[in-house]
Amino acid sequence: MIDLDFDSFVDELTECGWRPTHDEGNKKLRKFWELHQPDGYDAKCIRVLRADEVAERFDWAKSGELAHKYKRDVNWVEMGMEACRRASVDPSYFIRRYLEKEEGIDKNPLVEQAYRDLRDGVV
């Protein structure tokens, strides 16, 4: 993979049928490019995550993984996880109580209210 500078970017666009000119549109394109290219950004800045890292970092992936594992609706799992986040409760509460059905875990009223708010569309 090569680092793409603005001129190479324009060459790539040209190959797709775009024709460069010296009008205001091109000045805006160059300005956009410059604003969105942080110093030092190159291919070394890109990191491909393993599946377990994705699930650990992104709730949407964790919810999908849990829904699949426990054969539950992904939207329901997402709402449960979001309710925990809004109530500042560790998501393990939702996982242990509602997915693993662990005995002896009392309902958390903050999570319950956050879940109802999500279900009813309250912001």
Task: Write the pLDDT tens digit of every residue in 64-85.
Answer: 899 999 999 999 999 999 999 9
Q: Residue 1 pLDDT > 60, yes or no?
A: no
Contact 81, 59 (CB under 8 A): yes
User: What are the pLDDT digits (tens) for 10-68?
Assistant: 777 777 666 666 666 667 776 776 676 666 666 677 778 888 888 788 777 889 899 99
> What's the count of helices (H) and strands (E) in the chain, helices before strands?
7, 0
Measure the CA–CA gap between 17 and 123, rounded to whole angstroms: 46
Q: Which residue has the higher pLDDT, 113 or 53?
A: 113
Domain limits, the chain? 6-45, 51-119
Q: Which residue has the higher pLDDT, 45 or 96?
A: 96
pLDDT number for residue 58: 79
- Which phi and psi (to 5°) does residue 69 adopt? -60, -45
Measure the CA–CA gap between 110 and 108, rounded to whole angstroms: 6
Neighbours of 20 (CB within 10 A): 13
pLDDT number for residue 23: 63
pLDDT number for residue 18: 66
* 118 Cβ neighbours under 8 A, 6+ residues apart: 79, 82, 83, 86
